[in-house]
Homo-oligomer: A and B are copies of this chain.
Amino acid sequence: MARIVMKFGGTSMAGLERIRASAARVKREVDAGNQVAVVVSAMAGETDRLVNFCREASPLHDNSEYDVVVSSGEQVTAGLLAIVLQSMGVAARSWLGWQLPLHTSATHSAARIRGMDTDGIAETLDSGVVATIPGFQGLTEGGRITTLGRGGSDTSAVAVAAALKADRCDIYTDVDGVYTTDPRIVPRARKLEKITFEEMLELASVGAKVLQTRSVELAMKQHVKLRVLSSFRDVPGTDIVAEEEIGEHFVEDQLITGIAYNRAEAEVTLTRVADKPGSVAAIFKPLAANEVNVDMIIQNIADADGRTDVTFTVPRTEVPRVMDMLAAVQDEIGYESASYNDRVAKLSVVGVGMKSHTGVAATMFTALGERGINIDSITTSEIKISVLIAEEYVELAVRVLHSAYGLDDEEAAA
Q: Which residues of A contact B (CB under 8 A)?
A: 16, 19, 50, 53-54, 56-58, 60-62, 64-69, 71-73, 75-76, 78-80, 82-84, 86-87, 93-94, 96, 98-99, 143-145
Contact = CB atoms under 8 A, between A and B. Distances in A.
A84 B58 contact: yes
Nearest to A86: B62
Query: How many chain copies?
Result: 2
Contacts of A75: 68-69, 71-72, 75
A216 B408 CA distance: 73
A72 B86 CA distance: 21
Q: Which 8 A-B pairs have the closest CB atoms?
A: A68-B79, A58-B87, A69-B79, A72-B72, A57-B83, A65-B79, A65-B82, A61-B83
Given A66-B79, A79-B65, A57 B98 contact: no
A142 to B, nearest CB: 10
A365 to B, nearest CB: 53
Given A16-B53, A16-B56, A16-B57, A68 B87 contact: no
B62 A76 contact: no
A365 B307 CA distance: 107
Nearest to A84: B57
A71 B72 CA distance: 9
12 contacts: A16-B57, A50-B76, A54-B83, A57-B80, A57-B87, A58-B83, A58-B86, A61-B87, A68-B82, A69-B83, A72-B72, A72-B76
B64 A93 contact: yes
B143 A99 contact: yes
Nearest to A57: B83
A35 B56 CA distance: 27
Contacts of A53: 16, 76, 80
A54 B76 CA distance: 9
